[in-house]
Amino acid sequence: MSDKTITLTGRIFITADVHLLSGLIIGGNDTGLEIGGVDKVCIRNPLTGEPYIPGSSLRGKMRSQLEKRLGVRQDQPIGQGVSIHGGVKDYREKEKDKIEYTPIGHVFGVTGDKAKDHPTLLLVRDVLLSEKSREKLIEAKTPLPFAELKTEVAIDRVTSAATPRTLERVPAGAVFSDAEWVYSIYDNQHFDLLKLVVEGLQLVEDDYLGGAGARGSGKVAFRKIAVKVKAAKQGQWAEKELEKDLPSVAELSKQYEAWSKQAQDFIQA
């Protein structure tokens, strides 16, 4: 971090429920179990046994989709390539240990081996299973706690030999509640970059979350979306609700100019 002073002037909070439109495989690793075991399992809270969506998975998917949308090179480590208005540009060292920040670098940060002169703007929280979905999954008596088993079979095109694998998924219809994206404002240019967060949410909806998306898993929808802003005023933090119960990311995007302007006015007042 450089010696320059930075001042946190406000934060914008976007919250939503994550609805599973197809089964979700997330956070799971190869288990190394014997034949007949589950090849991939969901990440779970060790205290409750319930699956959850790691904030890192949701944030990482948003970043990767935005990088593709903006034309970032995919053959180099995170933090070495960015896009500006659709064109590809590399991070260039200004001095020995300083880097030039660009839109994605500003919002999502850069790798730990880079000397930072600006804080990351976006953080994303872990998302827990909703109480209603928890009750429904208990009643359903799924093969594994809060999860279904999905068997896939790879067929050798030459020999026709079948290789089965079994995956653990959170079933379609489940809801993870109160996902939260927290976007920090340090100076005026950060209001312009906020639109990347909204676009990132839409790109995740249009693609998939977690694993096996090309084979049908991981389709999600963000619903019951709300936006609020907090600002430092006279030594205290004040807050204002901007949007509530929006039905879709499309509606959040449609209303973007109005609520983002309200947030900017509230923080700067």
C-alpha closest to that of 216 among 208, 228, 224, 206: 208
Q: Is the predicted pLDDT of residue 259 greater than 60, yes or no?
A: yes
Q: Which range has the worst mean pLDDT, 69-83, 142-156, 217-231?
A: 69-83
Ranking 37-51, 104-118, 216-230, 246-260 by mean pLDDT, the lowest is 104-118
- Distant-in-sequence, close-in-space partners of 234: CB < 8 Å, separation ≥ 6: none
The answer on pLDDT for 22 being more than 60 is yes
25-34, 68-77, 88-97, 124-133: least confident range: 88-97
Q: Indicate if the pLDDT at residue 82 is higher than 50.
A: no
Report H helices in 71-182: 103-108, 131-140
Pick the more confident residue, 42 or 112.
42
Distance (Å) of CA 65 to CA 68, 93, 196, 215? 5, 26, 11, 18
In the structure, what pLDDT confidence band is assigned to residue 76 with cuts at 50, 70 and 90? Answer: low
Q: Between 204 and 37, where is the model more confident?
A: 204
Average pLDDT (111-140) is: 85
Most confident of 25-34, 100-109, 149-158, 215-224: 215-224
- pLDDT of 171 above 90: yes
Could you state, in order of their start, the residue ranges of all structural domains in the chain? Answer: 10-268
Indicate whether 11 pLDDT > 50: yes
pLDDT of residue 83: 37
- For 263, the 3-state DSSP assignment is helix
pLDDT value at residue 87: 37
Q: What is the mean pLDDT of the chain?
A: 84
Is residue 125 helix, strand or coil? coil
pLDDT at 94 over 70: no
What is the per-residue pLDDT for 29?
55
So what's the pLDDT on residue 165?
81
